[in-house]
Structure 1
Amino acid sequence: MWTHHRSGASVLALSVVAALASTSTLAQGPAAGTPQLAPAKVRYVQGSWVNLRESAQAQASVLAQVPANTALDQLAERDGWCAVLYRGDARLGPALAAPLQAHVSCNLLSDQPLTLAQAGKDAARAFWVAPSPNRLRTYGNALPRPTSLQISALTKTHPPEAPVVYPVRPEFEAAKKLLRAGVLLRPDQEINRGEPVDPLVDLKLATRAVDHIPAVAPLATRPVLPAIAPSYFRTHASVALLHETDADGLAAVAGTRISVVPTGAPHGSFNRHMGPEIEFVTGFWDVGSADLTFAPALTLHAITHQGLVGARALRQRYWDISNADHYCGGHYPGKGFDDPREDDTVPVRGYARLSDTAEVLARLVVPGKLPPDAVKVKTRRYVTSWMQPADPPIRDKPQRKHTAVMVHEIDVDRDGVADILRIDTPAPGGMSFEPVFDWRWYLNINGQWFRAGYRVDQECT
């Protein structure tokens, strides 16, 4: 029975003692006729880097700090404070040798773990809900910069290429430690292809004169898509194209552990043709450069125009976190994993050895490995053209340029149903008026087409 002169903290402490005693009794087994008490209730931390305190007071000493979704055993509750047992968190390191008894504000706990949707735009909580390299980067970019380290101040005080030193943040240090050790990702959290589409909706040809370029001639025949039905890829988790996602999505589908290994400090830099004042700082927070590693290695498959299947293994790769704006040339406007270099990868035995000049239509990752047998590829050509203006001495007078929309149908299992579609659409280059192509990929997921990335070309000065 509570007495009126006991404080909330002392009352809560007595409750904890009773709860611990009942826990011990339960462990030994209840005596005959003794009612069984409910075990400690599991609660989940909802805040980010929450303080576990020595007593039920806001000024009490901090015994530990834990991230969102840490599981705690709640022993008692009074006046907005919860007495808990903390046994450790695998994301932070090994389990504790003995449970830590502490107190935490009850409004920071919930009966259910946070989801990504609930974390919303809180970058720190989103990271701990679903740790990944991309969410680590978002988290680092969201940390508030001291006034002296904001870009407006750095442009006046900081020489290019000199290191930019940010203060140490314990929670971010814990996040970096977790990512250095490596994490397994879930495909549903990394791959989002939206709703099914009709690929022809994305087929856009020039329809009016631009900068004195006459309109593109209509296609000789409107493209016809192959019949679609459920075939090789039955779920979104069964494939990822390098053209639609980055390392996180590829690692998630492959089921390989991905790690972030910092290799350098941030430094001020500027875009090409600009400067000498710096315009941005490389990396995110105190990670200026980094490598991504994969264990086991990612197997990157390539399918050529002739239907050959190649495969190369990738264990480690430089992570492009320079923060420089895209300058010009071919690129993925959204996510995309640039084609691997020969010196980044090693060939996988049992697959075709593709030459450097082989025309690769698609690169992909699957759980396990793609069958090495040749796939079936059918390419359909739909002619179009435009007028190129006179440009002496290259062209003395206007000249019609003939080209075509190309529709590539890739049948992975040779069952007569296309599993991957690539549509190459030409447009006049901004300077030469020669064709530059947009490539768009689509995946047949259980009998429906889904967008799976695109690449655009650009003429550069």
Structure 2
Amino acid sequence: MKTISDGLHRLRWAAAAAAIMLAGGSAGAQTPTVAPAKARYVQGSWVNLRDAAQPQARVVAQVPANTALEQLTERDGWCAVLYRGDPRLGAALAAPVQAHVSCQLLVDQPLTLSQAGKDAARAFWVAPSPNRLRAYGNALPRPASLQIAALAKTHALDAPVVYPQRPEWDAAKKLMRTGVLLRPEQEIDRGAPVNPLADVKLATRAVDNLPAVAPLATRPVLPAIAPSYFRRHDGVALLHETDADGLAAVAGTRISVIPTGTPVGRFARHSGPEIEYVTGFWDVGTADQAFAPPLTVYAIAQQGLVGAHAVRKRMWDISNDAHYCGGHYPGRAFNDPGEEAQPVRGYAKLSDTADVLARLVLPGKLPPEAVKVRSTRYATSWTMPADPPIRDKPQRKNTAVTVHEIDLDRDGVADILRIDIPAPGSMSYEPVFEWRWYLNINGQWFRAGYWVDQECT
């Protein structure tokens, strides 16, 4: 039985022999000299490889952006190339093949995410990830019969929506089911260093001629900062600043997407025949995310206790609902380890009601010993107007801005900062909090996410 390497050798020999014959030489007269192949990369999202250097020639394979090809020859704008195959993309793209492709579709260096721009297909193939898979599926052009306006007339509530098969999409799902390793610099961007107190302002209310919020009794003070636990941006990710893509990238764990259900048409209102949206993206209605090895999520409690949970698989909230009553992480879906998480032995068992200041993942292991936490309150207040029978007359509501300093290695330098900032609620005038996180990266503060409280009716 011939091996793949035998096949590649024959392909290269055939290419070299053909080149000699075209030049007027004899393949049998001497051993052909095979010129070094030139590495080239596909820049289109789904490019045709043909069996001849003609635009109408038979397509022998289709390959995604950043596929590595070996260019053998170039003539009249066509490149003879060798594709080595990629079994991760399915049987159709697993075998090696020699073919021709327009040289205009090849570049000398792999594309970057910035070069992919807003093209969702190219962005996925440049840097495959769950979020880019979702964007890819949402960007695929839908047939007229699957547009919302048409489905509203023909489709039953919660009935499956059947999308046509697309080879490129099947290859993308195959790749993500296998799993990928992500790069932290592609998933997390904390921007420039900041002063965490620069924009700490208490909201004032102009409603009913309320007086301004009382100034802080003492202005908040930042702890002294110096290089400490985190020396690089890829050394930590907080759950409050990123989602599963960023967490898996920092942890160095392989992340997979496992489709579990087909899309269905749904109502957003409780009456009327309209289907207002279709769940999921393309033919993926529901999905799980899997992590191998398991993703370890650490929790730092107010008392300095360190808890840890291992996440092997979790339901992926691909609806990406922006918020829920009681608070939300703006634009994020991965806000806690989830019900699938399992406690890690050797770490503190934190109750469901524990006051957790921060959750994070690391490329290594966080020691289970208690960390040092220092919380400082800075008093402020505002007037709550009369609201009979709840309040017969205006009352002063006392609250505070709280600065939490988390020192992971107990060296006297804060590694994580959380600032809790209150504002009067729009209905009750009770404090509604915004929590902001900052990371000490090599002696500078960087934003690391925020959480916004919500009032419920």
Calculate the TM-score normalised by the size of structure 2: 0.90
> For residue 171 of structure 1, what is the aligned residue in structure 2?
168
For 2:94 and 2:340, the matched residues in 1 are separated by 42
Match of 2:434 among 426, 434, 438: 438
Are 1:129 and 2:136 an aligned pair? no
Q: Is contact 2:148-2:277 (8 Å) kept?
A: yes
> For residue 379 of structure 1, what is the aligned residue in structure 2?
375
> For residue 289 of structure 2, what is the aligned residue in structure 1?
292
Matches within 5 A, 1:3-14: none
Label 1:201 to 1:160 Cα distance change in 2 as closer, same or farther (>3 A).
Answer: farther
> For residue 451 of structure 2, what is the aligned residue in structure 1?
455
Give me the CA root mean square deviation: 2.4
> For residue 396 of structure 2, what is the aligned residue in structure 1?
400
Match of 2:301 among 282, 304, 316: 304
My pick for the range that moved more, 57-66 or 325-334, is 325-334
1:288 corresponds to which letter in structure 2? Answer: G
* 1:181 Cα deviation after fit: 0.8
> For residue 322 of structure 1, what is the aligned residue in structure 2?
319
For 2:124 and 2:401, the matched residues in 1 are separated by 42
* 1:338 Cα deviation after fit: 1.6
For 2:61 and 2:112, the matched residues in 1 are separated by 23
> For residue 64 of structure 1, what is the aligned residue in structure 2?
61
Matches within 5 A, 1:219-234: 219-234=216-231
> For residue 358 of structure 1, what is the aligned residue in structure 2?
354
For 2:210 and 2:160, the matched residues in 1 are separated by 48
Q: Give the 3-state SS of the residue equivalent to 2:122 in structure 1.
A: helix
For 1:272 and 1:460, the matched residues in 2 are separated by 20
Q: Is contact 1:242-1:336 (8 Å) kept?
A: no
Structure 2, gaps ≥5 residues long? 1-13, 23-29
Match of 1:313 among 298, 304, 310: 310
**Paired residue total:** 438
Label 1:134 to 1:274 Cα distance change in 2 as closer, same or farther (>3 A).
Answer: farther
> For residue 411 of structure 1, what is the aligned residue in structure 2?
407
Matches within 5 A, 1:340-359: 340-341=337-338, 343-359=339-355
* 1:392 Cα deviation after fit: 2.0
Structure 1 residues 177-216: Cα deviation after superposition (integer angstroms, max 9, x where no partner): 0001111111111111111111112312123423554321
Instruction: Provide the identity percentage.
Output: 78
* 1:336 Cα deviation after fit: 5.2
Label 1:222 to 1:169 Cα distance change in 2 as closer, same or farther (>3 A).
Answer: same
Q: Give the 3-state SS of the residue equivalent to 2:197 in structure 1.
A: helix
For 1:20 and 1:188, the matched residues in 2 are separated by 47
Label 1:215 to 1:263 Cα distance change in 2 as closer, same or farther (>3 A).
Answer: same
> For residue 218 of structure 1, what is the aligned residue in structure 2?
215
For 1:154 and 1:103, the matched residues in 2 are separated by 42
For 2:337 and 2:326, the matched residues in 1 are separated by 17
Q: Is contact 1:243-1:336 (8 Å) kept?
A: no
Q: Is contact 1:266-1:282 (8 Å) kept?
A: yes
Label 1:361 to 1:77 Cα distance change in 2 as closer, same or farther (>3 A).
Answer: same
Q: Is contact 2:61-2:92 (8 Å) kept?
A: no
> For residue 9 of structure 1, what is the aligned residue in structure 2?
none
Q: Is contact 1:88-1:94 (8 Å) kept?
A: no
* 1:135 Cα deviation after fit: 0.5
* 1:324 Cα deviation after fit: 4.7
My pick for the range that moved more, 77-86 or 417-426, is 77-86
1:310 corresponds to which letter in structure 2? Answer: G
2:97 corresponds to which letter in structure 1? Answer: L
1:123 corresponds to which letter in structure 2? Answer: A
Calculate the TM-score normalised by the size of structure 1: 0.90
Label 1:412 to 1:460 Cα distance change in 2 as closer, same or farther (>3 A).
Answer: same
Are 1:367 and 2:363 an aligned pair? yes
Matches within 5 A, 1:147-226: 147-210=144-207, 212-226=209-223
* 1:147 Cα deviation after fit: 1.8
Are 1:252 and 2:249 an aligned pair? yes
1:121 corresponds to which letter in structure 2? Answer: K
> For residue 102 of structure 1, what is the aligned residue in structure 2?
99
Q: Is contact 2:176-2:257 (8 Å) kept?
A: yes
Q: Give the 3-state SS of the residue equivalent to 1:200 in structure 2.
A: coil
For 1:21 and 1:250, the matched residues in 2 are separated by 56
Label 1:446 to 1:90 Cα distance change in 2 as closer, same or farther (>3 A).
Answer: farther
Are 1:84 and 2:81 an aligned pair? yes
Structure 1, gaps ≥5 residues long? 1-13, 23-29
* 1:276 Cα deviation after fit: 5.5
* 1:256 Cα deviation after fit: 0.5
For 1:20 and 1:330, the matched residues in 2 are separated by 71
